[in-house]
Chains A and B, each alone.
Chain A
Amino acid sequence: MLKYIAQRLALAVCIVLVATSALYAVMVSLPGDPTTVLLGPRSTPEMRADFRAQMGLDEPLPMQIVNLWGRLLSGDLGTDYARNRSVASAISAALPHTVALVFGAISWSATLGILLGAFSADQRGGWLDRITGVLSVGLLAAPSFVVALYSLLIFGVTLRWFPTIGAGETGSLGSRIWHLVLPSFAIGISWVGYVARIVRASMLETLGESYIRTARAFGLPRRVVIYNYALRVAILPAVQVLGVGIGGMLSSAVFAEIVFSRPGLGSLIYESVSGRNYPVVMGAMFVAIAFFVACTLIADLVNIALDPRQRNRG
């Protein structure tokens, strides 16, 4: 078991290393001199040359990647020269908003999706199962950006129930949550359908298992059999998918942050890529990759914890 965890951790580190290096190589090969874009039209060629040297862009590419890793391993994410601040401070200001958005969306969508899936499997073939099926596929097909725009127009503009921009007042949890409702609804909605379909399929398979039949034969109440025994195993595929789904959520967060004018890692990366702000792009991408890899690793470990068969494999 420990060996398995160690292997997964080593693999996670390798993924972060390779993905970050590859992204850096792609980024610097894009057309668009970062010094020209960052310093603007009034910069002189001398200022731009100084700036290139300051950013380490005058070195050969392999050396730049080595330097990047040297900095990252020493815990230095670099300097945002455009705004005279450390990249770490820019990321630490943005990351909590994205984490809140992604986990907010996952929490409500997974909870609802699991319940819908379990309910649907329990009512297999009934009209409630059919309605849930149509609803699940419908939600699955709803593009997040369309949901974002319509929820903005309906709940923000027409009804004025929720704010259309920002992340809420600093120090006010109520305001923060209130500002999180529409964006997390927009990026989580398609996951409800997805999780519901996975849980339903998995649940139907589980309900056919012999230990479930045994539990029923012992006269355990139906609700206990389904929600205490079957669901525990049936949600395993969903947990795995949700771990990987964090990556998709991060992508959705980019446009949600733009549509709802929220701060966050997505909007920071978007703005920095357009502005060729290499240190911020790399720092933010490193954190995003590490975050994604950590989430998939945690999903694996949760699966092991929930499933005795996997625990015993190692």
Chain B
Amino acid sequence: MTRKPASLIPDLSRRQVLGGLAALSATSFGPVTAWASANGKQLNVRLYSEADDFDPIDASGLIDEMLYNCIYRKLIQFKPGDEWGHQLDLAETIEQVDPLKIAFTIKTGQMWSNGFGEITAEDVKFSMERIIDPAMKSRNKADLGPFTHVEVTGTHSGIIHLEKPFAPIWTIALPYITGNVVCKKAVEAAGGRINTAMPPTVSGPYRVVEQRPGERWVLERNPDFGGTPADFDRVDLIMIVDESAAEIAKEAGDVNFTAIGPGSVARVQAKPPAGTELRVHPALFYVWIGLNIEHPKFTDPRVRQAIQHAIDVPSIVEASYYNVAEPSTGIIAPGLIGHRKASLIPPQADYAKARALLTEAGIDRLEITLNVLNNVIFTTAAQVLQATMVQAGIDLKIEVHESGSFWTLGVASDGDRWKTVELVMKRFSMTPDPFYATAWFTTAEIGNWNWERFSNAEFDALHEAAMIETDSAKRDTMYQRMQDLMEESGGYRFITHGVTPNLYDTSIIPATRPDGIPLVQYFRAA
């Protein structure tokens, strides 16, 4: 009888070995997971792009503003909620004393970090005047309109002077990018522009502790902040370009707040991930299909009208926005001054009418090209149009462009492409004042951002007049008329304002503008 040699390894079945390995791997990953999540009271917010720098003078839009909201203060800020409005921030009081003057006082004892002292009216003056200084070449100068200067009347008080009345001062200039107050002393010491690796000083609820280019900005609670202390020890503003990747990161627990694509709304609503909430906000941006009015194919207004009638807006909204969004009536969204209740041409296509208009113009079949961005929303819309416009006798060719090529299609300084451009589907971002929307469609913008090459003297005059009109009812009528003129030109078919679906943890109480843009500085823990 042979005896099995003694072994240090006990006899184990295959099942026992596998079970042991599984237990071992679970144990080994336990500490890793615990170590990774032991990061205190932290908020991770996803941004779709990266902020440029810390200077509002060079800010390129919303993403920079989200960072500034956390680290700087303004006289007034957008009020979180479902209706547009503002609330006091640095200002103790602020009022329009006459159409050309706004008097303000700022709260006392509000400090700059890193020993730069108290925030004063001089800082407000410096911050606003440097943006309109021609030598500074700020691309945000237009947001301040006819602003001329700030008269400092005391350490904590001053008067904002305007050359002409300017209604958007309350909706764009003060609560948005140009309203950020920077520290005069620190900026002057930095050579006039804040292009340092870290901001020399901040005043908002958070301060920047680390910048990881291409990845995230790490913020921490600012101990020198003079308002209600921030609720989180640390806030990470994380750059995730792709919406699907952001959604996965949210599901994995790596971000607490993110916007998701409209295509995901139905799925999330049907089966919401545990501990998350979805809120769909009506957005402000506007999507439209524009025709190059000067193109030889479109000189006959009946051809332009035929195309307007051949575009079925509900089909596009259904296919590209999964019926989450609504068809729009113009470039100004509901809730804003100038919003139209209805467009002149109904959103539904009228193929018979389109065909009749073409026949009247002596055209049997029309071949046209639609240019779109290489984004699934736009390419889907283009395919829908291609399939449906045939019913009106229109053959649509689709040209898809990457962003660098697309955004210069109609720009005259980029060669002769604007001459051959026919139809373009575009989306513009928007601020809560109609002035910001109509500014791109004036005659002066032809060859710049007015790719439809729409020129109308009444429109131009109304744009100027509405900018300085302070009576809201009158402004409302003026902006509605301007959109009528755009539509009557045959150069525009308005599609939608879209939506902003935000997915977030129930452990946080997010604060957003009515259009769903996060106001991270006001986020709280639940």
Identify the A interface with B (CB < 8 A).
30-34, 36-37, 39-43, 45, 47-48, 50, 82-85, 90, 93-94, 97, 152-153, 156-157, 160-161, 163-167, 170, 174-175, 178, 258-264, 267-268, 271, 273-276
Contact = CB atoms under 8 A, between A and B. Distances in A.
Interface string B429-473: 000000000001000000011000000000000000000000000
B411 A165 contact: no
B259 interface: no
Nearest to B407: A37
Contacts of B143: 42
A31 B418 CA distance: 12
Given A36-B407, A37-B404, A157-B252, A83 B137 contact: no
A50 B137 CA distance: 10
Interface stretch (B30-38, B286-294, B349-357, B506-514): B30-38
B252 A275 contact: no
Contact of B195 (A48, A85, A97, A157): A85
Given A82-B52, A178-B36, 12 more contacts: A37-B408, A42-B140, A42-B142, A43-B139, A83-B53, A160-B253, A164-B254, A166-B238, A261-B238, A263-B213, A268-B214, A271-B214
A97 B216 CA distance: 14
Nearest to A277: B404
24 contacts: A30-B405, A31-B405, A36-B414, A37-B403, A37-B404, A37-B408, A40-B139, A41-B428, A42-B140, A42-B143, A43-B139, A83-B53, A157-B252, A161-B32, A161-B33, A163-B254, A164-B245, A164-B254, A165-B245, A165-B254, A174-B35, A261-B241, A267-B214, A274-B403
Interface residues of B, number: 54
B60 A40 contact: yes
A275 B60 CA distance: 13
A94 B29 CA distance: 29
A30 B53 contact: no
Contacts of B411: 33, 36
The 3 closest A-B pairs by CB, nearest first: A263-B214, A84-B195, A32-B404
A275 B58 contact: no
B212 A167 contact: yes
A48 B414 CA distance: 11
Given A30-B405, A160-B33, A274-B403, A166 B216 contact: yes
Given A33-B411, A36-B411, A259 B36 contact: no
Given A31-B415, A178-B32, A164 B195 contact: no
A47 B255 CA distance: 38
Interface in B123-166: 137, 139-143
B53 A47 contact: no
A313 B411 CA distance: 60
B503 to A, nearest CB: 14
Given A83-B52, A258-B242, A47 B36 contact: no
Contact of A41 (B52, B252, B440): B440
Contacts of A165: 238, 240, 245, 249, 254-255
A94 B213 contact: yes
A147 B143 CA distance: 47
A150 B402 CA distance: 27
Contacts of A167: 212, 215
A32 B402 CA distance: 10
B407 to A, nearest CB: 6
A163 B241 contact: no
A32 B414 contact: yes
B281 interface: no
B142 A163 contact: no
B408 A33 contact: yes
A41 B440 CA distance: 9
A41 B245 contact: no
Contacts of B448: 45
A178 B37 CA distance: 13
B168 to A, nearest CB: 14
Contact of A157 (B50, B52, B213, B248): B248
B295 interface: no
Nearest to B449: A41
Contacts of B7: none
B86 interface: no
B231 interface: no
Nearest to A265: B214
A259 B253 contact: no
Contacts of A85: 195
B294 to A, nearest CB: 19
B413 A258 contact: no
Interface in B173-217: 193, 195, 210, 212-216
Contacts of A42: 139-143
Nearest to A156: B252
